């Protein structure tokens, strides 16, 4: 009966299913709404958005990109509601969600929690899928956590997870690429967002799964990332990520911020920005089940 129920549910979204192709099984289909009563069910979670209801106004920045990055029924895991991002030839932008939490340096960076915590250790998780027929690799930018340290968006640290950034990297894989905006002792050096001349790059690490290989297109994958800041007296910071619960890559013994302690990790971005735009057709990717937490999350199965 359970299998028949799932087929009936899928049939209700036949138009979307025909457009999007077969749904893979990697991320699974939750037995109940992921974000129903999440504050009481998961007190360790900072944020939950399964996109079944509209929470977009709680992000401090949402770039809808002229209607090309939107909530849409049938585009999520199990034909649920998810976020659809559409890339156009010649345009690197396809929208973004910017979530703030904890203590922030500006009222503009509206936190989704009480706005008082200084987070030094966070996890975030989301499901990702590329449309069948997708070309060009991983689309460069995907997600990052950061320490926003001024009203001009200076960053004390950035935990990037993206594709195609390190020289000679495989565009079909995701890479950790941690960066510090302080010197080794902890003095803030950056003065604005993406202040590249003042960043200390701490060393990239590539994942094992060729996520964007043609064989994996049309399949949902569960991506989870962990960023832990170093203690003031140690180089023990961490950046690591998992796909479908399997560790893909890890960077340890990081000196993220020296003794800097004015702000903690206070933002996570989901973003679509394709620097090189190596494609000539309209194409889409899909996001669902976004969670930020102070402990391991796991996949929505």
Segment 29-85, tens digit of pLDDT: 445 799 999 999 999 999 999 999 999 999 999 999 999 999 999 999 999 999 999
Q: Are 151 and 192 in contact (CB under 8 A)?
A: no
pLDDT at 25: 41
Based on its alpha-carbon atoms, the radius of gyration of the chain, rounded to whole angstroms, reads 19
This prediction has a pTM of 0.89
Q: How far apart are CA 192 and CA 284, in angstroms?
A: 31
Mean local confidence (pLDDT), 281-296? 98
Q: How far apart are CA 128 and CA 295, in angstroms?
A: 21
pLDDT in tens, 71-130: 999 999 999 999 999 999 989 999 999 999 999 999 999 999 999 999 999 999 999 999
**DSSP H or E run through 201:** strand 200-201
Q: Are 282 and 89 in contact (CB under 8 A)?
A: yes
Q: How far apart are CA 242 and CA 230, in angstroms?
A: 21
Mean local confidence (pLDDT), 199-226? 97
Which residue do the tokens 């129920």 mark? 5
Please, what is the average pLDDT of the chain?
91
Q: Are 124 and 291 in contact (CB under 8 A)?
A: yes
CATH of region 2-293: 2.60.120.200
Q: How far apart are CA 143 and CA 162, in angstroms?
A: 7
């Amino acid at each position: 009966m359970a299998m028949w129920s799932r087929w009936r549910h899928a049939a209700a979204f036949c138009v979307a299913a025909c457009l999007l192709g077969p749904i893979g099984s990697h991320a699974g289909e939750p037995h109940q709404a992921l974000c129903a009563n999440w504050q009481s069910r998961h007190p360790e979670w900072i944020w939950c958005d399964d996109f079944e209801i509209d929470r977009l106004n709680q992000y401090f920045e949402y770039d809808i990109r002229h209607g090309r990055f939107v909530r849409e029924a049938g585009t999520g895991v199990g034909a649920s509601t998810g976020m659809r991002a559409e890339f156009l030839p010649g345009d690197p932008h396809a929208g973004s969600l910017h979530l703030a939490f904890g203590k922030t340096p500006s009222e503009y960076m509206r936190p989704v929690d009480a706005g008082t915590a200084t987070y030094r250790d966070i996890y975030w998780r989301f499901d990702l899928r590329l449309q069948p027929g997708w070309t060009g690799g991983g689309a460069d930018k995907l997600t990052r956590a950061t320490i926003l340290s001024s009203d001009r968006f200076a960053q004390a640290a950035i935990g990037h997870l993206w594709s195609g950034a390190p020289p000679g990297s495989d565009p079909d894989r995701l890479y950790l690429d941690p960066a510090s905006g302080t010197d080794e002792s902890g003095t803030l050096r950056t003065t604005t967002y993406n202040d590249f001349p003042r960043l200390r790059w701490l060393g990239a690490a590539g994942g094992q799964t060729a996520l964007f290989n043609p064989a994996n297109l049309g399949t949902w994958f569960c991506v989870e990332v962990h960023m832990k800041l170093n203690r003031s007296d140690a180089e023990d910071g961490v950046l690591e990520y998992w796909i479908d619960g399997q560790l893909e890559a890890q960077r340890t013994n990081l000196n993220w911020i020296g003794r800097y302690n004015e702000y903690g990790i206070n933002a996570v971005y989901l973003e679509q920005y394709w620097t090189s735009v190596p494609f000539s057709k309209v194409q889409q990717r899909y996001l669902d089940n976004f969670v930020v937490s102070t402990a391991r999350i796991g996949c929505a199965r």
